[in-house]
A and B are shown apart, each in its own frame.
Chain A
Amino acid sequence: MHSLKKLSTAVAAALALAPVTVLAQDAAPVKIGVVAFLSGAAASPFGVPARNAAELVIELMNAGKAPAPYNTKGFGGSKIETVIIDESGGTTTQVTEFRNLVQRHNVDMVIGYISSGSCVGIAPVAEELKKLTNFFDCGTPRIFEDASYKYVFRTSPHSTMDNVGAAMYLKDVKPNMKAIAGINQNYAWGQDSWGDFEASMKHLFPKIAVKTSQMPKLFAGQYNAEISTVMGAKADVVHSSFWDGDLEALVLQAAPRGLFKKSTGVLTAGETIMAKLAKQIPDGTILGARGPFGPYAPDNAYSRWLKKEFQERYQVLPTYPSYQMAQAIMGVKLAWEKAQAANGGKRPSNEQVAAALEHSTFEGPGGTVKMALGKGHQAIMETAYGMSKVVGGKVTVTKVKRYPAEVVNPPEGVKAADWIAGGFKH
């Protein structure tokens, strides 16, 4: 029994290391858990720009310095506080940390998650803990197709429209093309992206030939052999959903070999590298930004505000993860305040905020966000594609075409894959 006592003391001591905070409900600040990759390869393109946007937007909101209707202080007058957590470590770690956020930090809501794996794993836990959770970036359409949730939202469009939009853009600008090839990362995102693109192309170009689909390992870094194979395939178009580090490596290694000069590159997440690789991206490369973000953002009060403030603070223009984080916070703020008003000015419950966010429509730096799918929990937005053109040493986009939200997204209740296979029926 002696060792038992020691063991239990040790356990108790270990658990006591973690801070436990219980806050009084009245006049308490609104506590938001913010989760994004702060280490590993996804930190620099997604996690850190998103965290930066969250810190910036929340600070400005606390000061009442966001454009109307986001200009009340904090959330309905309550100051916003954040608890920031790294998204690394796998789903088991993320589920543990999500529970810690909710049950140890007593956050009022969680905004976060870049990896689709995290989102799939977190959604049922958020539901179990009855905690409002807004996924700001992850792509897979499965979240609201496989289940329906009361507390889980995604204020960013899912990835289906990225590839449907790319195919529609090709139909508009290269109606006579005959063959495609692909190079995508061998994990769910890359597999889904290529699957959606291939199916969309087969529908829009019934005679299209699919030459090769390369699936290198995530973070492989060396793509000479893949580039040779894709070049040997002599396709009109090479599709890639690569992002950041891998995309930069691909473009760097493809440039001296002329891959994207011989075949037009369709880079669905190409926007994040535009500012960095002006010399290596040949004119005419088709670039996507996962929605109306970055160079495709509409010129409205919110995008001007975000660009100006972000540039001032971080000396760079915001990329799409920053837009998505900003609009995730904005959407929740409006819903919070709407719920608070309906609650007679008192602090709203998670259920009331969720009800207000459901089926809502709001304006953000990327234009109109409609919570149209997944029973009002999944956003749709328009998307845009364009071709790169180097002007004065900087990559700009030309021949921009915009596709309305309802055209590039499946209707409510239809799975994205079925919708594409069925020929985009509405």
Chain B
Amino acid sequence: MMSQKHAIVMNEKDNTATAVEAIDAGTAVVVSVAGQDLAVAVKHKIPFGHKFALRAIEPGGPVIKYGETIGYATKPIAGGEHVHVHNLESGRGRGDK
């Protein structure tokens, strides 16, 4: 199983997974969440180290990794979408707001 690992979910509360190898668009990825397998159809090419959504996240909704909020969605994010600075914004240190 280990050799097939494409992505890691750090905490069962997470709504994102982190790719531990580059994943092509259209790949069906199986991740382990608290010991349970979860299948996600990855919609975009995900570079090594980048994230994709495990399920839909609504605009303004928290993006969760390590069981903690790492920022907020700036637009609707569907399960399997690449999650990064184009659709996630930080809630901290925002002197511009």
User: Are A and B interaction partners?
Assistant: no
